[in-house]
Chain A
């Protein structure tokens, strides 16, 4: 009996081991939030999306063709896009938030602008930079902010 008990105890204690938890770190590549945007928009895509962002409606086919031809007639596409966006900004139907709404809630304005043009949320660093920029420049308008987004490199890629 005693021997059996000892054997049982030996079996019990030999099997009762501390569990080992092995902690490891799985390598994960950290990439910027916009790193998957590696394809340039065609002029057609850029114009179509830009028009929708600016006027909140789709561009018509004839208007699209004219805009496309105009863009192709200028070799420097940054210059061409700047002029196109400048033209749109002169249109009374362009949909831009008011200065009052931007200044009343700059964080919401920045988040909505990032969503509208870059289809993502800003990082904390980007958000703070933009809010500080808005707060520190009393003459800044939503139009100027929209222009910079509309003619940025990220907006021209997807």
Chain B
């Protein structure tokens, strides 16, 4: 071999030896950015539409109802004294006949804003202030001005980014929906042609799966023996599917491996048994769908130990017509967050290794609508052209996150609703890869970069 050819060949081989390890299944060079900051992430879409006034500003009735009563009704998440008058957000005081007169005991001894970092003034800066828009922004890091219901997000969700670029398997990523309404089942993957179902996250709406519909159609479903029955079913089905390879037409599965499918079915079977014996892990107070969903989300965490779990809520949206119930559900949503954080710390694999992120999907209007409830308190809608509706907060707690830190304020808003996706990507070490896809909103930043 001539000398020049030898040098050229060996140089190319050396360069290839350094380059090859950086080509992940996604096919991108230089894919690995930095080590993950967290092993697990739980993102709660504190949804339904929360006004700053009743949450981080702790104004209780002072601004919303022109009553001179302030206080903090979210004392698992926020530091501050509760109201001392006109208490209507707790459990019903049946002795004295006062609706909501008994506040729910706090679960956490230390509120989360002392454990983690609070961004008290974040903006839902673009797009229509509707629930599906807000949820879509939370999971995709993008805003949609033309997003309609019954349509998947146009840009990839965090589930797809993690499955494609961080190698997560399907059961590492879960969306636990409070219901199947509002097109929630469409949020586990996008319509983007380069991502989509191949990288979708698992979805479950447990109050439906384990409620009446699931009991009628799933409970006591037959358990086939894996070695003598299920293997035959799979063999015959594989034969049938091979004879039907029509442009990739198939039942819309999520590329769960066979073992994962079995794990999911076992989870459903096991949870039905817990439902029947009343042993599902539920918050101490669980008198609404949000809290039941939080309880089932803990069951998902215990069973699968997912790397990413997204949970959403909705009961706060009663504020369109009943302000008192809005306060009750807000108080309960806080109760659910406290319970969730506590239970995470009781799971050995996840304790001390899980980052919890909480963010409403949007706010509510500054001005009330004409509807009064039984306390003669006015109700509030959420309109896209109302500046107050675009005010939300974000909270993070977990390993490596500064405690007792507030970033931004009323006169200095910091953070955007589209920040959650790059933040989660940052937590799992693929922030730059996700950013380089060019599919996030231009204003999206990792919250760590905003501190």
Contacts and interface: CB of A to CB of B under 8 A. Distances in A.
A71 B209 CA distance: 8
B363 interface: no
A40 B249 contact: yes
Contacts, number: 155
A79 B240 contact: no
Contact of B243 (A34, A72, A81): A34
Interface stretch (B86-94, B140-148, B219-227): B219-227
B286 to A, nearest CB: 19
A49 interface: no
A149 B237 CA distance: 7
Contacts of B413: none
Nearest to A117: B240
Given A78-B253, A79-B256, A133 B236 contact: yes
Interface in B194-238: 200-206, 208-209, 212-214, 216-224, 228-229, 232-237
B61 interface: no
A107 interface: no
A112 interface: no
B239 interface: yes
A152 B244 contact: yes
**Best-surrounded residue of B202, B224, B234, B252 (most CB of chain A within 10 A):** B252
B254 interface: yes
A104 B56 CA distance: 74
A67 B219 CA distance: 12
A86 B222 contact: yes
Given A75-B201, A83-B221, A153 B265 contact: no
16 contacts: A38-B246, A66-B212, A68-B213, A70-B216, A72-B180, A72-B205, A73-B209, A73-B214, A74-B204, A76-B254, A76-B256, A76-B264, A83-B217, A87-B222, A148-B237, A153-B241
Interface of A is mostly: helix
A144 interface: yes
Given A37-B244, A77-B252, 14 more contacts: A32-B243, A32-B244, A66-B213, A69-B180, A72-B205, A73-B180, A73-B209, A81-B251, A90-B222, A151-B233, A153-B240, A153-B244, A154-B243, A154-B244
Given A76-B254, A78-B261, A89 B222 contact: yes
A145 interface: yes
**Best-surrounded residue of B202, B223, B240, B268 (most CB of chain A within 10 A):** B240
Contacts of A145: 236
Contacts of A17: none
Interface residues of B, number: 53
Interface in B252-279: 252-254, 256, 261, 264-265, 268
Contact of B246 (A35, A73, A86, A130): A35
B246 A151 contact: no
Contacts of B235: 133
Nearest to B189: A75
Contact of B264 (A65, A79, A81, A140): A79
Contacts of B170: 76
A70 B250 CA distance: 20
Interface string A130-143: 10010001011000
**Best-surrounded residue of B212, B235, B246 (most CB of chain A within 10 A):** B246
B84 interface: no
Nearest to A152: B240
A90 to B, nearest CB: 5
